[in-house]
Amino acid sequence: MIRVGYANNNGSSVVHETVDNSPLANASILALKESKSGDTSVDYFYMEMKTVESNFTDWERYAFIDQT
């Protein structure tokens, strides 16, 4: 599972969608970037994957794309 989302300039994050694989995540982030192209409140776009550590499941961001 991969989550695609973006971070705003005010520090908040928005999850756009969760997909099953890398090709879907790549398509999702490109479509999201295009749909938010004029939104100046977006700082960057990201992808994150689930990680499991010490009985906790967290999401770890691993890909970042600037809004520019």
The per-residue pLDDT for range 5-53, each reduced to its tens digit, is: 999 999 999 999 999 999 999 999 999 999 999 999 999 999 999 887 6
Q: H or E element: which one contains 3?
A: strand 2-8
Confidence of residue 58 (pLDDT cuts 50, 70, 90): confident
User: What is the pLDDT, as a whole number, of residue 55?
Assistant: 64
The answer to whether 29 and 61 have CB atoms below 8 angstroms apart is: no
Does 56 score more than 80 pLDDT? no
Euclidean distance between CA atoms 23 and 66, whole angstroms: 20
Report the mean per-residue pLDDT for the chain. Answer: 92
Q: H or E element: which one contains 35?
A: helix 22-35
Euclidean distance between CA atoms 39 and 66, whole angstroms: 12
User: What is the pLDDT, as a whole number, of residue 14?
Assistant: 97
User: What is the pLDDT, as a whole number, of residue 54?
Assistant: 62
